[in-house]
Amino acid sequence: MLDKSNAMRTAIPTPSDHWIVTPRGRLFARRWQPSASADGHAPIVLLHDSLGSIQLWRSFPAALAAGTGRSVIAYDRLGFGQSDPRTGDIGTGFIDEEAAAFFPLVLRHFGLEHFIAMGHSVGGGMAVHCAARHADACQALITESAQAFVEERTRTGILEAKASFQQEQSFARLRQYHGDKARWVLDAWTETWLSPTFAAWSLNNVLPLVRCPTLVLHGGDDEYGSSQQPERIAGLAGGPAQLTIMPGVRHVPHREREGAVVDRIATFLASAVPPLRTPT
């Protein structure tokens, strides 16, 4: 059962849709703007997980905008959701590539001089890279169920998921969100993370470059990562970090306990990130 009771502090905003042109294809983006008061606050930019999309964030972006009073922006990475297809191997450097090649185009499209980066699962690793690469502009970092390194629990979870997608019913659900790109999306996740060449990947060298305040959220029963994952993120982050482990929660806290996640983020941002300016 979803927990939404405490999240609605302002009216639910109506989203606006955007297309972002890149040299490799268009990205689909959506923005939730709660009110004019949000103009004095850095917006939150969401980076989705390995099988994710704007649609799969579901009600969370609107609840986050309402609960924090900040603009929230989400986009489908190239090859995902409604964005243009991506062909070929995604490559082992895809996490850093997102921060280097695509995220700056999102910032430019929306005219963002400052932002808050939030990512779920692999999107959390991308958010870490975004915070490190754009340190002067990133006011805060929020990771949710993020991996900091490849552990056996992560590989086991991916192997189990890969087997489940052999069933047509499960794969049909993936096609519902990614259309004809679904097979590429699935392979980009499973084949990359299970590859021996990716086994040594970690955020160890990037996290010390993060200077902003960081909130690390993780489910106590996360099937893709033990508590060592959030502990490493909080322990190596270069700025002040807060760690929140949510008991009884699995890999998608924002879906399982939406209201609690929004409230925790709102409390963190209210104390850690002052307004950029006073709205007139």
Q: What is the pLDDT of residue 59?
A: 97
Mean pLDDT of 192-217: 98
- Whether 48 is covered by a domain: the verdict is yes
Beta bridge partners of 115: 138
Domain contains 131:
yes
Q: What is the mean pLDDT of the chain?
A: 93
The 10s digit of each residue's pLDDT in 48-82 is: 999 999 999 999 999 999 999 999 999 999 999 99
In a domain, 279, yes or no: no
Do 114 and 275 touch, CB atoms closer than 8 A?
Answer: no
Is 1 contained in some domain? Answer: no
Q: Say if residue 278's pLDDT is above 70.
A: no
User: Residue 238: is its pLDDT beyond 70?
Assistant: yes
Cα-based distances in Å from 39 to 74, 268, 278:
17, 19, 9
Q: Which of 27-36, 44-53, 246-255 has the weakest average pLDDT?
A: 27-36
Residue 244 carries which DSSP code? E
Domain of 37? 15-272
Within a domain: residue 53? yes
The CATH number given to whatever domain includes residue 210 is 3.40.50.1820
Q: Is residue 154 part of a domain?
A: yes
Q: Is residue 5 part of a domain?
A: no
Query: Residue 9 domain-assigned?
Result: no
Three-class SS of residue 195?
coil
Query: How many structural domains comprise the chain?
Result: 1
